[in-house]
């Protein structure tokens, strides 16, 4: 059986289609939930932002594709102090690993969900040293300025880093 979709609903979901569907009234939407492959989600997110929708009103979930951006680890090996539920752990982190990966490898029960920089579950604060994030769709600029990072996206750029999941 052939399904007949109205012409204006056919094709790839892009900003133009969303604008058609919502009669161009993007601003009155309280919350956006963008979920799908990263191309689709990032394109829509940028498009909505350029139309004046605040990124704080967008929730994002990425379907993780095969491609992952190149690791941005600037230091070959680093030592990470991890504070979680009142306990301090010190672990070694190999080049290319994320802070979250090194925690999980060492049986530290660090929180995570999407592993794609989108949900914010893995958020923690860097209190010593520095990291660089592959991508960040979950933290706003005030949080980043306050030292929060997404540990699933974070690669140390200093030989020692302290990560606080409790703050």
**How far is residue 32's CA from residue 100's CA, in Å, rounded to a whole number?**
27
Closest CB to ligand FES among residues 18, 152: 152
Alpha-carbon separation of residue 152 from 51, 61, 114, 123 (angstroms)? 30, 14, 9, 8
**How far is residue 4's CA from residue 51's CA, in Å, rounded to a whole number?**
31
Minimum distance from CB of 19 to ligand FES (Å)?
A: 28
Does position 121 bind ligand FES by CB under 6 A?
Answer: yes
**How far is residue 120's CA from residue 152's CA, in Å, rounded to a whole number?**
9
Minimum distance from CB of 93 to ligand FES (Å)?
A: 16
**How far is residue 158's CA from residue 80's CA, in Å, rounded to a whole number?**
10
Q: Nearest-5° angle of CA 120, CA 126, CA 130?
A: 110
Does position 139 bind ligand FES by CB under 6 A?
Answer: no
Among 34, 131, 152, 163, binds ligand FES (CB under 6 A): 152
Minimum distance from CB of 103 to ligand FES (Å)?
A: 12
**How far is residue 137's CA from residue 150's CA, in Å, rounded to a whole number?**
9
Closest CB to ligand FES among residues 8, 64: 64
Minimum distance from CB of 125 to ligand FES (Å)?
A: 14
Q: How far apart are the first and last CA of the chain?
A: 56
Q: 56-115: which residues touch ligand FES (CB under 6 A)? A: 112-115
Q: Which stretch binds ligand FES (CB under 6 A): 48-56, 76-84, 102-110, 116-124?
A: 116-124
Does position 122 bind ligand FES by CB under 6 A?
Answer: yes
Residues that bind ligand FES (CB under 6 A): 112-115, 117-122, 138, 150, 152
């Amino acid at each position: 059986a052939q399904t007949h979709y109205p012409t204006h609903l056919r094709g790839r979901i892009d900003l133009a289609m969303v604008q058609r569907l919502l009669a161009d009234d993007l601003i009155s939407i309280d919350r956006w939930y963008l979920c799908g492959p990263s191309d689709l989600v990032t394109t829509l997110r940028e498009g909505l932002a350029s139309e004046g929708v605040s990124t704080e009103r967008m929730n994002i979930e990425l379907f993780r594709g095969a491609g992952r951006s190149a690791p941005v680890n600037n230091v070959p090996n680093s030592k990470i102090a991890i504070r979680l539920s009142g306990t301090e752990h010190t672990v070694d982190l190999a080049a290319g690993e994320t802070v979250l990966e090194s925690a999980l490898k060492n049986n530290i029960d660090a929180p995570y969900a999407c592993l794609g920089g989108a949900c914010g579950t893995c958020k923690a604060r860097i209190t010593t040293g520095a990291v660089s994030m592959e991508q960040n769709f979950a933290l706003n600029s005030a949080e980043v300025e306050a030292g929060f990072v997404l540990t699933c996206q974070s690669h140390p750029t200093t030989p020692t880093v302290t990560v606080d999941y409790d703050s």
